[in-house]
Amino acid sequence: AMGRALERGRAGFGPYALEIRCSRIRGHYCGDPQVYRSKAELAEAVRNDPLARFRARVSEAGLLQRQEFDAIETEVLGEIEAAVAAGLAAASPDLAALTRDVYVRY
Protein backbone atom coordinates (compact mmCIF):
# COMPACT_ATOMS: atom_id res chain seq x y z
CA ALA A 1 0.00 0.00 0.00
CA MET A 2 2.83 2.39 0.82
CA GLY A 3 4.49 1.59 -2.49
CA ARG A 4 1.29 2.46 -4.37
CA ALA A 5 0.96 5.70 -2.40
CA LEU A 6 4.54 6.65 -3.27
CA GLU A 7 3.99 5.87 -6.95
CA ARG A 8 0.86 8.03 -7.04
CA GLY A 9 2.58 10.89 -5.28
CA ARG A 10 5.63 10.77 -7.51
CA ALA A 11 3.36 10.65 -10.57
CA GLY A 12 1.79 13.94 -9.50
CA PHE A 13 -1.56 12.68 -8.23
CA GLY A 14 -1.24 14.62 -4.97
CA PRO A 15 -1.63 13.53 -1.35
CA TYR A 16 -2.58 10.01 -0.40
CA ALA A 17 -3.92 8.84 2.96
CA LEU A 18 -3.12 5.48 4.53
CA GLU A 19 -4.84 4.12 7.61
CA ILE A 20 -2.45 1.95 9.56
CA ARG A 21 -3.81 0.07 12.54
CA CYS A 22 -1.69 -1.36 15.31
CA SER A 23 -2.32 -2.06 18.98
CA ARG A 24 -0.69 -0.32 21.89
CA ILE A 25 1.56 -2.63 23.83
CA ARG A 26 1.56 -0.42 26.89
CA GLY A 27 -1.36 1.21 28.65
CA HIS A 28 -2.56 4.79 28.46
CA TYR A 29 -0.28 5.82 31.34
CA CYS A 30 2.55 4.42 33.43
CA GLY A 31 1.05 1.80 35.71
CA ASP A 32 -2.14 1.33 33.66
CA PRO A 33 -3.39 -2.16 34.66
CA GLN A 34 -5.16 -2.50 31.27
CA VAL A 35 -8.13 -4.31 32.78
CA TYR A 36 -10.06 -3.42 29.61
CA ARG A 37 -7.93 -5.88 27.58
CA SER A 38 -7.71 -9.63 27.85
CA LYS A 39 -4.35 -11.33 28.36
CA ALA A 40 -4.75 -12.93 24.92
CA GLU A 41 -5.32 -9.53 23.28
CA LEU A 42 -2.22 -8.10 24.94
CA ALA A 43 -0.15 -11.15 23.96
CA GLU A 44 -1.33 -10.73 20.36
CA ALA A 45 -0.31 -7.07 20.39
CA VAL A 46 3.16 -7.98 21.67
CA ARG A 47 3.47 -10.74 19.06
CA ASN A 48 2.56 -8.27 16.30
CA ASP A 49 4.68 -5.34 17.53
CA PRO A 50 5.26 -3.32 14.32
CA LEU A 51 8.67 -2.06 15.47
CA ALA A 52 9.93 -5.57 16.22
CA ARG A 53 8.53 -6.82 12.91
CA PHE A 54 10.19 -3.94 11.03
CA ARG A 55 13.49 -4.61 12.75
CA ALA A 56 13.30 -8.31 11.86
CA ARG A 57 12.37 -7.70 8.21
CA VAL A 58 15.10 -5.10 7.67
CA SER A 59 17.65 -7.34 9.37
CA GLU A 60 16.62 -10.36 7.29
CA ALA A 61 16.94 -8.26 4.14
CA GLY A 62 20.46 -7.30 5.20
CA LEU A 63 19.70 -3.58 5.16
CA LEU A 64 20.84 -2.90 8.73
CA GLN A 65 22.87 -4.92 11.20
CA ARG A 66 21.96 -5.35 14.87
CA GLN A 67 24.65 -2.89 15.96
CA GLU A 68 23.22 -0.24 13.61
CA PHE A 69 19.72 -0.71 15.03
CA ASP A 70 21.09 -0.52 18.56
CA ALA A 71 22.94 2.71 17.71
CA ILE A 72 19.77 4.25 16.25
CA GLU A 73 17.75 3.18 19.29
CA THR A 74 20.35 4.66 21.66
CA GLU A 75 20.36 7.93 19.71
CA VAL A 76 16.57 8.18 19.70
CA LEU A 77 16.32 7.41 23.42
CA GLY A 78 18.91 10.14 24.04
CA GLU A 79 16.82 12.63 22.06
CA ILE A 80 13.73 11.67 24.05
CA GLU A 81 15.55 12.06 27.37
CA ALA A 82 16.90 15.47 26.26
CA ALA A 83 13.39 16.61 25.27
CA VAL A 84 11.95 15.47 28.61
CA ALA A 85 14.75 17.23 30.49
CA ALA A 86 14.16 20.43 28.49
CA GLY A 87 10.44 20.28 29.22
CA LEU A 88 10.99 19.75 32.92
CA ALA A 89 13.53 22.60 33.05
CA ALA A 90 11.27 25.05 31.17
CA ALA A 91 9.26 27.64 33.00
CA SER A 92 5.63 26.76 33.60
CA PRO A 93 3.21 28.49 31.24
CA ASP A 94 0.95 31.28 32.46
CA LEU A 95 -2.24 29.77 33.94
CA ALA A 96 -4.33 31.99 31.63
CA ALA A 97 -2.87 30.04 28.72
CA LEU A 98 -4.77 26.95 29.90
CA THR A 99 -8.02 28.14 28.35
CA ARG A 100 -6.66 30.30 25.54
CA ASP A 101 -7.46 29.09 22.01
CA VAL A 102 -9.26 25.97 23.28
CA TYR A 103 -12.15 26.66 20.91
CA VAL A 104 -9.98 28.11 18.10
CA ARG A 105 -10.51 31.81 18.73
CA TYR A 106 -7.59 33.49 17.06
pLDDT at 64: 92
Domain enclosing residue 51, as ranges = 23-88
Residue 13 falls within a domain, yes or no? Answer: no
Q: Which amino acid is at 68?
A: E
For residue 105, is pLDDT > 70?
no
Top-confidence residue, 98 or 10: 10
pLDDT band at 25 (very low <50, low <70, confident <90, very high): confident
Residue 55, C-beta contacts closer than 8 angstroms, at least 6 positions apart: 69
Tell me how far apart the alpha carbons of residues 76 and 51 are, in angstroms, rounded to a whole number.
14
CA dist., res. 61 & res. 88, Å (int)? 41
- Angle at Cα 104 formed by Cα 102 and Cα 106, nearest 5°? 115
Mean pLDDT (the chain) is: 90
Inside any domain, residue 57: yes
- What is the total count of domains within the chain? 1
Residue 84, domain member (yes or no): yes
